[in-house]
Amino acid sequence: MGQALSASLLEDGYEVVVLGRCEKSGLKGEFVKWDAKTLDSWSQQLEGALALFNLTGRSIDCRYTEKNKALILNSRMDSTQILGEAIKRCEEPPKVWLNASTATVYKDIRGDLPAHDEDSEADGQGFAEDVGRAWEKVFFDSSRDGVRQVALRISIVLGENGGAFPVMRNFVKLGLGGAQGPGNQWISWLHIDDWTGIAKFLLKNPEISGPVNLSSPNPVTNSDFMASMRKVFAPLGLGFPAPTPAIYLGAVFLGTAPELVLNSRKIISRILDDNSYSFSYSKISSAIQSFEG
């Protein structure tokens, strides 16, 4: 996500500085090393900057051991807190700070109940939900006058260069593209092009602040999502389903958490709709077809 955003911003003529622990191949923009914990010379990069995007955080695609839980939480809390301290020391701080968050803060809902939007209570129960609330608290507690803050409640981002989509596509190509678990759980998703589009839209719109849901306007059930995947990637359009016990067993071997597949997230954005953001991909069928070939 960070690489896609930096490449898009560079194409638009912005100067981009990337803070990271280590430089990655294919990285777009100037690289500056930081440890995401302590103040150092990297903080000078914030002076006079137009905007700060913070996407730092250990991947949640892992088993939720106590060690991994601590890494997931602390990587988000520490990086956000130290950025807040750096901003407070700036003579000319960034005009806007856009900080990653998660759409998992909302309750699990099924069936035909209305989707959550930014007016819904962020009172979901679980580890990822607790992390999201703690992350946003340290973010908004780090406020400074004159710096607009936006919490990016990001849903599943579909892109070819990382995240869940390439893994799911490979399973579908192997004939394992049936419904996962009960299949009635909702998936809120976002195409990688709309991730960059929304990020830049929020950067340029000074009227928007606070939490914003980054999700397409059309959530789909897992069954429908996998059916769309099979149409594009499955041999003969066929795929074996994975019942709930198989999800739990597979999660052990893959080193991931079964709730990433089994939880139900039905989320839309009232704020993006009210401010007339135009999605490049609002339907799951066209979003998946964009990765064909």
pLDDT, tens only, 74-107: 999 999 999 999 999 999 999 999 999 999 999 9
| Alpha-carbon span 259 to 277, nearest angstrom | 31
Q: What is the mean pLDDT of the segment spanning 123-152?
A: 96
Output the CA–CA distances (angstroms, integers) from residue 144 to 31, 40, 50, 65, 207, in the order listed: 26, 20, 15, 35, 17
Nearest to 51 by CA among 92, 101, 82: 92
Which residue in 56, 64, 104, 109 sits closest to 80, CA to CA?
Answer: 56
Alpha carbon distance 234, 285 (integer Å): 14
Indicate if the pLDDT at residue 262 is higher than 90: no
Kindly state the average pLDDT of the residues 254-270: 88
Percent of the chain clearing pLDDT 90 (strictly above): 80
**Is pLDDT above 80 for 254?**
no
In CATH terms, the superfamily for domain 2-289 is: NAD(P)-binding Rossmann-like Domain (3.40.50.720)
* HEC assignment per residue over the chain: CHHHHHHHHHHCCCCCEEEECCCCCCCCCEEEECCCCCCCHHHHHHCCCCEEEECCCCCCCCCCCHHHHHHHHHHHHHHHHHHHHHHHHCCCCCCEEEEEEEHHHCCCCCCCCCCECCCCCCCCCCHHHHHHHHHHHHHHHCCCCCCEEEEEEECEEECCCCCHHHHHHHHHHCCCCCCECCCCCEECEEEHHHHHHHHHHHHHCCCCCEEEEECCCCCEEHHHHHHHHHHHHCHHHCCCCECHHHHHHHHHHHCCCCHHHHCCCCECCHHHHHCCCCCCCCCHHHHHHCCCC
251 pLDDT above the threshold of 80? no
For residue 265 the two structure tokens come to 């997230």
**In the prediction, which pLDDT does 170 show?**
85
pLDDT band at 270 (very low <50, low <70, confident <90, very high): very high
CB crowding 79-98: b at 16 or more within 10 Å, else e: bbbbbbebbeebeebbebbb
Q: Say what the pLDDT of residue 27 is.
A: 73
Question: Domain spans of the chain?
Answer: 2-289
For range 104-119, the mean pLDDT: 96
Q: Which residues of 34-64 are buried (b: 16+ CB within 10 A; e: fewer)?
A: bebeeeeebbebbeebebbbbebbeebebeb
Q: What is the rounded average pLDDT of the residues 255-267?
A: 87
Higher pLDDT, 25 or 137: 137
Residue with tokens 């939720």: 64
Flag whether pLDDT at 25 surpasses 70.
no
- Comparing 132 with 26, the larger pLDDT belongs to 132
Q: Which residue has the higher pLDDT, 251 or 173?
A: 173
Of the candidates 57, 108, 59, 124, the residue with the CA atom closest to the CA atom of residue 255: 59
